[in-house]
Amino acid sequence: MSIALKQVFNKDKTFRPKRKFEPGTQRFELHKRAQASLNSGVDLKAAVQLPSGEDQNDWVAVHVVDFFNRINLIYGTICEFCTEQTCPVMSGGPKYEYRWQDDLKYKKPTALPAPQYMNLLMDWIEVQINNEDIFPTCVGVPFPKNFLQICKKILCRLFRVFVHVYIHHFDRVIVMGAEAHVNTCYKHFYYFVTEMNLIDRKELEPLTG
């Protein structure tokens, strides 16, 4: 890895603190297994498949947190170039505009500049993954019945970060020498959400059509 790339992906560049798994827990072991598969150069399509005998919710939880951390990092590398002036609308080219709704402050879908949308999105996801009622960390505590629905919403919104970065800021990614890293992260994400059927195909159109 080049010095420039190390600087791009050092911990100081992270958009916000990473959520980690506690050593000794089932999810920590699953996270290690998932990382080992990736680091061994195994085919990404194979790496995302649910390991035999493992719980689907645990597998999804591990990946949602990991993708949040990694996509957070990718956006952190270009966020100084994503301003209200350069990106007055959160979009993925002329055909796709993403509006923010959280049922709290924004009860209706609201058009926002991309950096404001990103901040609200990352804050919203952080609240979800740190909520013990949604992502329980104690052994034996069950996931809520709507867990996969919540994860689908999180992943759908994280995908929009990829769309915006690829369509509006990929020139910066190339300048930073981070193209291969971002492409690998996107492929991993894409294979996971399609393997586990977590994002509607229509949502994926901006980067597949």
Known binding residues are 82, 87, 164, 169
CB 41 within 8 A of CB 101: no
Binding residue ranges for Zn(2+):
82, 87, 164, 169
What is the three-class DSSP state of 91? strand
174-181 contacts, C-beta under 8 A, 24 or more apart: 176/4, 176/5, 176/8, 176/77, 177/2, 177/4, 177/5, 177/8, 178/5, 178/8, 178/9, 178/74, 178/77, 181/5, 181/9, 181/74
Distance, in Å, from the CA atom of 140 to the CA atom of 136, rounded to the nearest integer, reads 9
DSSP 169: S
Residue 97 bridge partners (DSSP): 91
DSSP 121: H
What is the three-class DSSP state of 89? coil
Distance, in Å, from the CA atom of 80 to the CA atom of 30, rounded to the nearest integer, reads 34
